[in-house]
Amino acid sequence: MSKKFKVLLTNPIHPECNQALMEECDVVVAPDIKSETLKSLISDCEGLIVRCQLPQDIFDGATQLKAVVRHGVGLDFIPVDAATKKRIPVANLPGSNTNAVVEYCIAAIFYFRRNLDLINSQLRIQGWTKARPQADSSTEIATTTLGIIGFGSIGGKLANAAMGLNMKTIALTRRPETLPSGVRSVTKAELFSQSDVIVICCPLNEETRGMVDQLSISMMKSNAILINIARGPVVDTQAIISALKAGKIAGAAMDVHDQQPLTGEEAIFDCPNLLLTPHIASITSSSMRGMSEGSVKTILAILKGIRPDNIVNPEVFFN
């Protein structure tokens, strides 16, 4: 019997997909995601499925590694340049979590606009007469303006959903010629000053790091909300804290953060009108299964010498 490939999972994947992978590979699940743990476990592995931030030098001792697959889309978790230098193929799963993230954004919009959480709480604690007036300040999202920063697969699907809800949609993108009918290209200043809801769904890179700064937030309407499902460092967290505490904006939903995981001690926990979630916008039972299936399929293909279309550094095969 031929020796099985050894594959490291930084975090658990869907149980059924894990079982399918175990039928063809020896699978190791990291007990924690500390740098020293991951670097120790990767030393004799041929495959790696990634669900957390990898240390920059993770590949230095990975002498057997033949394939790295992102269980999701964002590549900032993986030092791709370092992998490329060592001729290690890296793949991700474009579109695998798009629907889940878009639904999170829509849910966050309604969370702020219809006050259902507050109304439910007051009805249970203070009664009907105290709860019912809370609906008077709720707002419909139809005819309001959604501003999207970054118009990839998530931005595109979010725009379709928003237009289906009769929202006006504008976008900040480097490729305005690709915007569909009904979505207007605007400048950064126009987006922040005109939008009632701003959703950040751009990748994190040197151009976008800190792009949502104090000046940008100061342009927002007082009744506007900000939703960040991109990466924490795209937003100046202190500027958001200041704006929320001063009542300069109506609310914010933050699924991603400067440092993860949050400890509960961060200043942002003291902010009003803030929805905090632990980087779960892309996670549902169905998206987890889809990402796990895609990860297993992709890593098995690469390990067997097949070159799938979702490899992000195909140059490793030619240099």
pLDDT tens sequence for the chain (319 residues): 467 999 999 999 999 999 999 999 999 999 999 999 999 999 999 999 999 999 999 999 999 999 999 999 999 999 999 999 999 999 999 999 999 999 999 999 999 999 999 999 999 999 999 999 999 999 999 999 999 999 999 999 999 999 999 999 999 999 999 999 999 999 999 999 999 999 999 999 999 999 999 999 999 999 999 999 999 999 999 999 999 999 999 999 999 999 999 999 999 999 999 999 999 999 999 999 999 999 999 999 999 999 999 999 999 998 6
Structural domain that includes position 47: 5-96+285-317
pTM above threshold 0.85 = yes
216 with 70, same domain?
no
In angstroms, the first-to-last Cα distance of the chain is 33
Task: Give me the phi and psi of 291, to 5 degrees please.
Answer: -70, -40
What's the CATH number where 146 sits?
A: 3.40.50.720
Joined together, the tokens standing for residue 128 give 């009907």
- Judge whether 66 and 279 are in contact, CB under 8 Å: no
175 with 225, same domain?
yes
CA–chain centroid gap for 300, Å, is: 25
CA distances from 197 to 49, 103, 209, 293 (A): 35, 15, 20, 34
Task: Give me the phi and psi of 73, to 5 degrees please.
Answer: -120, -50
The residues, ordered by sequence, that sit 6+ positions from 251 with a Cβ below 8 Å of its Cβ are: 112, 225, 226, 244, 273, 274, 275
Joined together, the tokens standing for residue 160 give 């379709």
d(CA 285, CA 294): 14
267 with 301, same domain?
no
- Judge whether 174 and 205 are in contact, CB under 8 Å: no
217 with 175, same domain?
yes
Joined together, the tokens standing for residue 50 give 């990634």
pLDDT at 2: 62
105 with 55, same domain?
no
d(CA 300, CA 319): 23
Question: Around Cβ 120, how many Cβ atoms within 10 Å?
Answer: 12
Split into its structural domains, the chain has a count of: 2
14 with 77, same domain?
yes
In the chain, the amino acid numbered 222 is S
262 with 289, same domain?
no
185 with 247, same domain?
yes
169 with 34, same domain?
no
Joined together, the tokens standing for residue 156 give 């595109």
User: Is cis: bond before 203, omega within 30 of 0?
Assistant: no
